[in-house]
Amino acid sequence: MSVRKFLMPVSSSASASGALQTGLMLARMWHAHLQVLHVQADARDITSFTGEGLSGALIEDMLNASEREGGARARHLRELFEAATEAAQVPVGDALRGRDEPSASFTTLTGREEQVVAYQARLADLTIVPHPQAGEDVATADALHAVLFDSGRPVLLAPVEPPESIGRRIAIAWNGTANAASALGSVMPFVRQAEAVCVLVSEDYAKPGPSGAEVAEYISHHGISAEVVRFRAINRVTGAGLLAAAAAFGADLMSMGAYSTASRLRQLILGGTTRHVLEHAQLPVLMNR
């Protein structure tokens, strides 16, 4: 059981730069293929404004401006990709897929970002999503939620600053839910290669389901020893306690189930463990829903 294909949707040069280093690190680690995907909006969608009294000439000008802007963004992202792959010494080209060596490719598709990303993610072992920069709301990131809600596949949130390592010390956030179990299954290829693993549990976080000790027993069947670590919420914020426990363990990768205790809309309005982790995590976080 291994990881052979990563998908990374990119839309902004600010967030893509650091995430590319994370993605290429994983490609080299697994001798896998990294497909970097940029989704351009279809400029023809702007014709929906015709019902608001805009002239045909004005609409055409807006179409042309949108196409120029989209083309310039795509070219800049490709330049970032080429510079990053050269620096990481990762060969570029679709023909390299399937070989026992790292490789990467850059693809530009046209359509609605959340739809295209969800479709592409369904055929990736793991989708790496860049972390939005400060000032943007990660909890509303289209690509992230497209993978979580519409792909059936795991997503890895890349930290703003590229990590020095990924998967040497793994923290498994466990609350007993099916979502957490799905994330556990997705992180197991990394667990088998880890130096140390812990299962993070808390009364503030637990739901009906298997205990942390049972998770550790399950992992032992794969020849891995995992310790159970209890944590507590900090200032009544479970996500803060979870991240603090992962940091205390020295984790460079954490897995967790996403949106397992409430709807996405409720968490966006009221907050929640998933949202707190998305907004404050400084390490790579693998999530399933």
Residue carrying the six token digits 């019902």 = 51
Domain count, the chain: 2
Say if residue 149 is in the same domain as residue 194: no
Say if residue 14 is in the same domain as residue 72: yes
Q: Which residue has the higher pLDDT, 248 or 74?
A: 248
Say if residue 98 is in the same domain as residue 145: yes
Say if residue 26 is in the same domain as residue 57: yes
Strands across the sheet containing 285-288: 103-110, 33-40, 5-9, 126-129, 155-157, 285-288, 253-257, 169-173, 196-201, 226-230
Say if residue 99 is in the same domain as residue 210: no
Q: What is the mean pLDDT of residues 41-64?
A: 60
Instruction: Give the β-pairing of 126-129 and 5-9.
Output: parallel
Say if residue 142 is in the same domain as residue 203: no
Measured in Å, how far apart are the chain's first and last C-alpha atoms?
21
CA 85 to chain centroid, in Å, comes to 20
Confidence of residue 139 (pLDDT cuts 50, 70, 90): very low
Cα 127 from Cα 72, distance rounded (Å) = 25
Amino acid at the residue 25: M
Say if residue 53 is in the same domain as residue 175: no
pLDDT at 192: 95
pLDDT at 135: 43
Q: What is the mean pLDDT of residues 31-55?
A: 73
Task: Single out the residue in 157, 190, 205 at which a domain terminates.
Answer: 157
Cα 144 from Cα 130, distance rounded (Å) = 9
Instruction: Looking at 42-169, list the stretches that DSSP marks H as alpha helix, in order from N- to C-terminal side.
Output: 56-88, 113-121, 142-150
Q: Is the pLDDT of residue 282 over 70?
A: yes
Residue carrying the six token digits 């967030």 = 15
**Crossing angle between the packed helical segments 212-220 and 178-191, to the nearest 10 degrees:** 40
Encoding tokens for residue 46? 């702007």
Query: In terms of residue numbers, what domain contains 216?
Result: 169-288
pLDDT at 2: 79
pLDDT at 74: 87
Any domain includes 164: no
Encoding tokens for residue 85? 């792959």
Q: Is the pLDDT of residue 140 over 60?
A: no
8 Å CB contact between 104 and 81: yes
Any domain includes 163: no
Say if residue 66 is in the same domain as residue 175: no
Task: Single out the residue in 157, 179, 201 at which a domain terminates.
Answer: 157
pLDDT at 134: 40
Any domain includes 162: no
Q: pLDDT by residue (tens digit) across 188-227? A: 999 999 999 999 999 989 899 999 999 999 999 999 999 9
Q: pLDDT by residue (tens digit) across 225-242? A: 999 999 999 999 999 999
Any domain includes 257: yes
Say if residue 219 is in the same domain as residue 249: yes
Task: Single out the residue in 106, 130, 157 at which a domain terminates.
Answer: 157
Angle at 147 between CA 144 and CA 150, to 5 degrees: 130
Say if residue 224 is in the same domain as residue 189: yes
Residue 135, domain CATH: 3.40.50.620
Q: Is 162 helix (H, G, I), strand (E, B) or coil?
A: coil
Q: pLDDT by residue (tens digit) across 90-121? A: 999 876 666 789 999 999 999 988 899 999 99
Cα 162 from Cα 66, distance rounded (Å) = 32
Say if residue 15 is in the same domain as residue 153: yes
Say if residue 197 is in the same domain as residue 232: yes
CA distances from 236 to 115, 231, 232, 255 (A): 36, 12, 9, 21
Closest CA to 164 of 282, 4, 248, 16: 282
Q: Is 198 helix (H, G, I), strand (E, B) or coil?
A: strand
